[in-house]
Every structure is written in C-alpha cells, then in structure tokens.
Structure 1
C-alpha cells in the first residue's frame, strides 16, 4: 500500500522539507561591471568525476538577471551569525549595492569573493536549466579556498525568518 502524497496534498512533502537542515550559500557574480549576490537555500554537489555543483537562484532575484549573463559564479559558505545572510538575503540589488559595505576581492572572471567566509569556490557556468520558480546553474569548479580554522557554516534553520529582498 502506497502512502505517497499527491501534488494535490503537498503537506507530506512540506513536512519532509521542514525537517531538512542543509547549508545555505551566498552566490556572487559580475558581468560588464555589474555585481550581484544573494542568499540561496538550494545548492549541492551533483557529480564527483567530473566535479560538478548546481546552485538554484530564484527568478525573482536581481542576482538571477545578472547570473543569466555570467560565465562564472562564486559560491560561499556563510559564517555563523545572521548579519551576512540577512545582508545578502533581505536586501535586493535592485535598490542597493550589496558590496559597498562588505569586504571582498575580485576573483576569477571578476566575481566578488567575500572576505571572512569559511570557504568559497568559483565555478564556470556549464548549463542553465529552468526548474519552476528557480533556474539551476551547473558549475565546473575552477578555483576554491577553504579556511579550516573558520567555524562551521550557517544552515537553513539558522536563517529561517529572513525576509527576502524581492517579492516571492
């Protein structure tokens, strides 16, 4: 007997999703002098050999419009504390230069690399896929840094309640 939940009754799926606690990331990019970055909750390694990672960015997000033209994206683990997560998650790049008040350096392809994060990698965009209200960006890692002395990264449960900087 199947106990699967149909799409007409997504409550079972929502309960499953609410039990997850995966890391959140900040994705940054730059194209033609325009910088963008946002907090993302959907990302993960999707291949070992060759190494591949996918990150999903909301189509409502300013960063999505820039990433749609980008060759490279940087994916950052978020340090403990909500400050950086709220900055990149609750303010829209349509209204504010998010990089004006945070330390960063240019990385491969000109992407902004945030200072003070536990780890980051830059990936070349190999493909983009339309998956509902988000676009998936398939990345081929080209450069990375990991600071083992840095504390653990922020997780999804740590940022619940952060209001998005753009309408859903």
Structure 2
C-alpha cells in the first residue's frame, strides 16, 4: 500500500474538526481532534481517537467524562488555539484559549467552551490502545446540544496549522 494513496484517501474524506475537553484531578485539558465518529445508535455511543503525544490523552486516561465541541466554519481561531499549543506549556483555558467569552464547567467539572454551543457531554466506557499513535476512547452520550444546522470546520480548513506536538512524539509515562 502506498502511504501517499492512504493519505490522499483520508484527506479526501475531509473530516469535521472538533475540540475535545476533559478534566481529571483538577487538571483540565483540551485539543483539536480530527479522528472521531458515532459508533452506535442504540445506545448512543461516540468514539474519540486521541494522540498519545497529547496532554489531553494523558488526562483522558484518568478522566471519566469528555466534552465534544463541534466546530463551525467560524471557529478557526478556536481550532488554531487548541491545535497549535501543547497543554504542558500552555493553559489553554485562560483568556482567548476558551474563546472570546471564556469557559464554563458542567456538573462533572468539564470545561465547556461558551463559543462552541454545538456539543455533547460523554462518559468514557472503554479505551482501546492497539499500538498506533492514537488511542480510542469509546463513550456513552449523556447529553447533546445544538443551535441548529451548521457547516462544520473541516480538515482542509486547518491543514495549514502547525500542531503543538508531532504525532511521532510519545509520552514517556502516560
């Protein structure tokens, strides 16, 4: 198989981009995510694949819940903030990191981005690490909110961003 062919196929799929936020032991984390999908209709389940290089992955291993923020075409600045910085060096939730008007928390302590109202709150039910550079978190949808139909921000819209950390780097101690 040609890596170039695989890459072209995946780029052509042009997935919608999301920001995943979580918290564990008062350690909030969030990152830009392109690997995600509905995985069941009944019960409502959703899968998130988080890079093992990310602070959000390490926090997610200890977390019980996640917030999944669906980005619109107007949310490029949010995608840039959460996609080009690493949580080890930046508190992504201070000032602009949570959007123009900041963040709220829900009953689980999850950081919710005020400027991203199209979102779900999910509960982790399983984690799968098959040895790749991402791990899959299977979740149960607890709540969903949308302000109506929107045009999602897509991979092609953020392809120019330089990631806060390369996918080749791995956590020494996840």
Give me the TM-score of the superposition, normalised by structure 2.
Answer: 0.87
Could you tell me which of 14, 21, 24 is aligned with 1:21? Answer: 14
In structure 1, the residue matched to 2:60 is: 67
**1:48-87 correspondence runs (5 A):** 48-81=41-74, 82-87=76-81
The answer (yes or no) to whether the contact 1:108–1:143 under 8 Å persists in 2 is no
Per the TM alignment, residue 118 of structure 1 is displaced from its structure 2 partner at its CA by 4.4
Dislocated runs of 4+, deviation >3 Å: none
Q: In angstroms, what is the RMSD of aligned CA positions?
A: 1.4
1:71-109 C-alpha deviation (Å, 9 max, x unpaired): 001100113242100000001110011001121110141
In structure 1, the residue matched to 2:114 is: 115
**Is there any run of 5+ residues in structure 1 with no aligned partner, and where?**
1-5
**Is there any run of 5+ residues in structure 2 with no aligned partner, and where?**
168-174
Give me the TM-score of the superposition, normalised by structure 1.
Answer: 0.90
**1:19-168 correspondence runs (5 A):** 19-81=12-74, 82-101=76-95, 102=98, 103-131=102-130, 132-148=132-148, 151-168=150-167
